[in-house]
Amino acid sequence: MHKLYLYRFFITLLLTVLFARIGSTQTWEVFDNDFHLEKKLSKGEIFLLGNNLRINVWDNDLSFLDAKYEPFTVIEDASLYQFLEPWIIIQNKDKFGAIHEYGEQVLPAIYDEIDSYYTRLLARLGDEYFVYDRGKRETTPIGSYVSARIARNGQVIAQNSDGSFSLPLSQTPEHRFISLTDPTDDVIVAREASGLGLINMEGDYILKPVIDEISHLEDNYFYAKNSNEYLLINALSTTADIRYNSFHRISIEHDVMVEYIHGKLRRIMKNDGILLDIVGMDSVRRSGNYFNVHFRDGTTGLLNKEGDWEVKPTKTATGILPGNEGAYGAKIGNGFGFINAFGDTIVSPEFDQVKVFSEGMASVKTGTKWGYINHQQDLVIPYQYSAVGPFKNGLAIVQIDGKYDLINKSGKSLLESPCKRISRMMDEYYLLEDNGLFGLAKPDGTIISQPVFEEIRREAKDKILIRKGDKYGVIKENGDFELPLYYNAILFDNKNAKILAKSKAEEVPEILSKKELKKRRKEKKGA
């Protein structure tokens, strides 16, 4: 349930917006992946949920559609409220019910609120709570509470009228806790008068409530203190594995977990034990996923997350940045340069700031401006930028005069004019934004579209959704139209290899490629 926060919010918001438009008949045109029209649908509003779920809403009924967009299950008097995979939450006036994504209605629309987990639902009616269990396929009342919710591990955490908390689905539902929190998908941190403990998915203690302090580190790892003993715990779904325990002080300093022995810093710790055990450390600072280790003899080294030296302790630098291509940015005296893994200076410290090498280039700053150097310290691109990014596929995002540009390794701009914002996306395409409008560029910098659309999104290879106002279309990566900027909505049913386009008219404008447009313009001029 809790791994889907953003997705859930997006779906809820999307449905809210779309339902505001429902009310008039429209035509849905169904295309194959090559944009050949296969059929038309003229009834209802269609929604694609998840990878393989098609829903039609029409005349207060909700229908599940098959791959041919024909209904196979109809739920009467229901509107779509939320999709919380694998559950569809429906609404009838101000009441809620639930349907499994396979089409089975498991809760009628009579409840005031519904919370979900992968295998169960928690429903509230007044102050009474009910649990639907998918395995047992039954709904069970669990009692009256001030509030209740499903924890990340599937247990129900309920608050009683006296302020205490209970676990109604555990073997001891009447047991009272001072507090219950769920920082991970596997365990609940429980506080009782005797101390803190950890509870698993079944509602049983895997670490008895006798601990003075428990802090969540990351994933399933916890830091704990019990009297004068310090513990590092891997809390799994069935056991609490104590990976490290010590009677020496363990603390978190500068976002780094360290251990002191006889009052002196001795060890750098990881979640499950010792990362580095060495005498003579003075302090440790985190640098990304690396550690700057400062020693009492004045040397500084760069330690990686595996406990190996990226840069051996050296007196050359007082601070070392994570590196690449055998070069590490370093504070040397009053300036910044680059050193190698042995601490030797390979780029003199004549800069005010430096960034990591990428594709043979590193951005360096002098005064208020950034430029780029190569490994030989040649200034390849002059100081002219107020902000710079690394090179990838031969391109970098830079800022100049308050706007952003896309440049190659010669410093040449690839855009007609700078933009307010440029973002490199997950697929390595570039989103261009200017004056509230959006465009798109390929990973090699080829412009698909200048920022002229209010929405642009790459759905698949050679399929890019665009929007102006309330009209949608689809363009190819060369900028030619596949579907004209005409439709009220366009959906990509990738699992079914179909594209659905909604309109309120029967006639669709002719689609012309750039080549055809030029041809017709020439013909018109010649006429």
Instruction: Tell me the per-residue pLDDT of 487-500, one tens digit each, with 9 for 90 and over.
Output: 999 999 999 999 99
Kindly state the average pLDDT of the residues 333-350: 98
Kindly state the average pLDDT of the residues 264-272: 97
pLDDT tens, position by position, 390-422: 999 999 999 999 999 999 999 999 998 999 999
Three-state secondary structure call for residue 87: strand
Kindly state the average pLDDT of the residues 213-238: 94
Is 164 within 8 Å of 180 (Cβ atoms)? no
Residue 504, pLDDT score: 77
Handedness of CA 145, 149, 155, 159 (dihedral sign): negative
Residue 13, pLDDT score: 36
At position 221, the amino acid (one-letter code) is: Y
pTM, two decimals, is 0.82
Is 87 within 8 Å of 99 (Cβ atoms)? yes
Is 133 within 8 Å of 99 (Cβ atoms)? no
- For the chain, give every domain's residue range: 1-144+481-527, 360-453
What's the chain's length in residues? 527
Residue 238, pLDDT score: 87
Rounded CA separation 365/383 (Å): 7
pLDDT higher than threshold 50 for residue 113: yes
- 60 or 454, higher pLDDT: 454
List Cα–Cα distances, 464 to 380, 425, 445, 457, 481, in angstroms.
36, 14, 16, 6, 9
pLDDT tens, position by position, 209-221: 999 999 999 999 9
Q: What percent of the chain has pLDDT over 70?
A: 91
Closest among 449, 346, 325, 341 to 391, alpha carbons compared? 325
Residue 522, pLDDT score: 62
The per-residue pLDDT of the chain, averaged, comes to 91
pLDDT higher than threshold 70 for residue 310: yes
Residue 44, pLDDT score: 87
Kindly state the average pLDDT of the residues 378-390: 97
Q: Would you give the DSSP letter of residue 494?
A: G
Rounded CA separation 247/131 (Å): 45
Two structure tokens written together for 290: 């690396």
pLDDT higher than threshold 90 for residue 515: no
Residue 505, pLDDT score: 59
* SS3 sequence of 103-146: CCEEEEEEECEEEECCCEEEEEECCEEEEEECCCCEEEEEEECC
Kindly state the average pLDDT of the residues 445-464: 95
Rounded CA separation 59/44 (Å): 8
Handedness of CA 500, 503, 508, 511 (dihedral sign): negative
Q: What percent of the chain has pLDDT over 90?
A: 86
Give the pLDDT band of residue 24 (cuts 50, 70, 90).
very low
Residue 514, pLDDT score: 53
Backbone phi, psi, residue 519, to 5°: -60, -45
Residue 324, pLDDT score: 96
pLDDT tens, position by position, 455-491: 999 999 999 999 999 999 999 999 999 999 999 999 9
pLDDT higher than threshold 60 for residue 4: no
List % helix, strand, coil for the chain (3-state, nearest 5): 5, 55, 35
Is 321 within 8 Å of 310 (Cβ atoms)? no
